[in-house]
Amino acid sequence: MYYDFFAGGSEDQHTLRENTEAFQRITLRPRILVDVSKIDMSTTILGYKTSAPIMIAPTSMHKLAHPEGEILTAKAAAACNVIMGLSFTSTCTIEEVASSCNAVRFFQLYMYKKREISALMVKRAEINGFKAILLTVDTPKLGRREADLKNKMIAPQLKNFEGLLSTEVDDSEGSNLEAFSSRSLDSSFSWKSITKLPILIKGVLTREDAIKAVEIGVEGIIVSNHGARQLDYVPATINALEEVVLAVQGRIPVLFDGGIRRGTDVIKALALGAQAVMIGRPIVYGLAAKGEYGVKRVIEMLKDELELAGCPTLNDITRNHVRMQD
């Protein structure tokens, strides 16, 4: 049941397959006789130094993968010097993760019908040293994840919401996660209700929304289709990336989320204009297999493969390094 929760997508899972298969239709155009005796893939994201353009995406409920959950994920991020995104629906509290290590952390936010709950979560994140808000905007309602419905997926009580909100709901028709989300998520949330807090908008797939995000003054955009867990038959994120990058025209950073499985995938996303990529499912699988060590190995493997690009720095990875299939 929990594997299906992490691995599955929505409805026919067409976009889930496309998120990874679309990368296979992009070929690399490497340059030869480049001096790569010294390679430095470090960068800065919102001013924070990181060892590579790789971030941990905010994914839900890590204790379903390992008993110590997000605490171990955060420790791995700190050990690898990469930024961690903590999910709004994490199974460890904001305070537990913050006190576990010195990783640079961003906090993911959903807008709930009870706006005071979302506001409180932002306040707690700020007090506990989180550096940015990842406002997820592609979930007015939870996507139809049929494996979770079939399995009658049971979500655990979330400690972040103790005394504020219960996840105990009537789930006789399917997963209690879907029932909880239907009751809690604010489907009226729109561009007009975004606050002026320093935020990155997560869930942008089109030129129009990218331009709108720039106009309202957000600090960054994350091109994402929610791991293909929301609306099926939307584009693979790698196919939407360049449209967003061209619309933004360098005015704010564009990050990428969805389908990264290899260092070559990271190269392709960077060549198409992403400043950094987020890693979701592979992190969870590493956590399930080997705990903190497993998460570190996932990050290290991607970093090692990234160095095979034949580029001494990230600035050397350009649009000329990839060819899109006609």
**Residues catalogued as catalytic:** 226
DSSP category for residue 201:
E
* DSSP state letters, 93-158: -HHHHHHH----EEEEE--BSSHHHHHHHHHHHHHTT--EEEEE-S-SS----HHHHHHT--PPPP
Distance in angstroms (rounded) separating the CA atoms of residues 10 and 227 = 9
Token digits for 170? 């009537």
> What Rg, from alpha-carbon coordinates, does the chain have?
19
Alpha-carbon span 326 to 201, nearest angstrom = 30
What would you measure as the largest C-alpha separation in the chain, in angstroms?
63
Contact 54, 276 (CB under 8 A): yes
DSSP readout, 210-233? HHHHHHHT-SEEEE--GGGTSSTT
- 220-223 and 276-279 strand pairing: unpaired
Token pair 């460890």 is at which residue? 92
Q: Tokens 């994120």 sit at which residue?
A: 237
Helix (H, G, I), strand (E, B) or coil at 310: coil
* 270 beta partners: none
Alpha-carbon distance of 217 to 96, in angstroms, equals: 31
Q: How far apart are CA 275 and CA 128, in angstroms?
A: 26
DSSP three-state, residue 8: coil
